[in-house]
Structure 1
Amino acid sequence: MTTFDKLDLDLLRIIVEDPKAGVREFSRRLNIARNTAQSRIRKLEDAGVLVSWRPQINLSPLGYTVMAFVHVHIAQNRVDETLERLAAIPELIEANTVSGEGDLLCRFVSRDNAHFETVLRAVLKTDGVLRARSEIVLNRHIWPRTIPIIEKVRNEL
């Protein structure tokens, strides 16, 4: 397991807060050499901490105003093949195997409730899916975040 110090975590926080700033700006803000910043970024990537530089997207302005979590029950030993089939549904934006209720917890988006019903029917028609239970998100109060955990880990050092 890779160990991280406060500099690694300070860099990670800056990357999360302002990923477009670039390595030069990261190094300036932390008062470190550009090569140091670059090697620390590589360390974070190699350790699997920093897995993507993709932006966080709000799909509502693109017309996808409904978000729902769907607990999907899958036929025994058919998770992988069923996931491949579910991935063909464009409105599926996240899928996780879980313990507890269902085998998968998926996040879907749709244009409206009628469109969500169409998406849910596509899920239920997917070979390998036994049943599903959905929960429509009324309002997203906290977006996916990592900075509180980064701060907690840093404070524990």
Structure 2
Amino acid sequence: MVIDELDSRLLVTMRAHPRIGLTELARLLGVARGTVQARVEKLTARGVIADFGPTVTPEGVGYPILAFVSLQIAQGRLAEAVQALRALPEILEVYGTSGQSDLLCRVVARSTPDLQEIIARVLASPAVQRTDTTVALSVQIPFRIEPLLHVAAERDGGRDLS
């Protein structure tokens, strides 16, 4: 899956102006509205654009503590562990990993005592053997995709691939 220079510009502009309409987007990009609409539909169908909803911050809804919790899972009990994790709303994401741990969880909490309770609930599952927790103290580079979009478009020489 590749994106071209127009796709890159389209995505960067949409991220900079999340509430922008197709007509204004077309004006800013200097292309026809139909072209913008077709590109947005294509990018959505390909899974490049994942959603159009608002980005909700955990801090904004009362969860200022962010931690990354690595889990070691009992042999053959991965599905059971994932099912137990799915039941905890404070666990935002879970990734299967290689190395020392089997799963890496992005966890939010209201306070450090709340985080300790969440970890205790994780450990209550017989499928989880051990946890290792790292608390994030600050965000040094927030989630970003724009630099990657520019590189992805350059990789293909800026050709229009539609």
- TM-score of the pair, normalised by structure 2: 0.88
**Deviations along 1:74-109, whole A, 9 cap, x unmatched?**
122332332122111011011111112311110111
Matched, 1:24 2:23: yes
Give the partner amino acid of 2:53: R
Deviation at 1:24? Answer: 2.0
SS in 2 for 1:109: strand
Q: Which has the higher contact order (CA 8 A, sep 6+)?
A: 2
Cα deviation code 1:92-138 (max 9, x no counterpart): 01111111231111011111110100000011112411111000011
Aligned twin of 1:36 = 35
Gap runs ≥5 in structure 1: none
- Who is 1:141 aligned against? 140
Shift of 1:14: 1.3
Distance 2:109 2:39 in 1: 39
Q: Aligned partner of 1:93: which letter?
A: L
For residue 66 of structure 1, report the CA deviation from its aligned partner. 0.8
Is the CA contact (8 Å cut-off) linking 1:8 and 1:40 kept in structure 2? yes
User: Given the alignment of the two structures, is residue 113 of structure 1 paired with residue 112 of structure 2, yes or no?
Assistant: yes
Q: Residue deviations 1:46-92, cap 9 Å, x none? A: 22211122333222232211110000111223323321221110110
Q: 2:95: which partner in 1? A: 96
Q: Spell out structure 1 runs of 4+ moving beyond 4 A.
A: none
The alignment's C-alpha RMSD in Å is 1.5
Q: Residues 119 and 36 of structure 1: is their aligned pair in 2 closer, same or farther, counting only changes over 3 Å?
A: same
Partner Cα separation in structure 1 for residue 76 and residue 16 of structure 2 = 40
C-alpha contact (below 8 Å) 1:124/1:132 kept by paired residues = yes
Q: What is the aligned residue count?
A: 156
Structure 2 stretches of 5 or more lacking a match? 158-162
* Aligned-partner Cα distance in 1 for 2:116–2:138: 19
Structure 1 residue identity aligned to 2:125: T
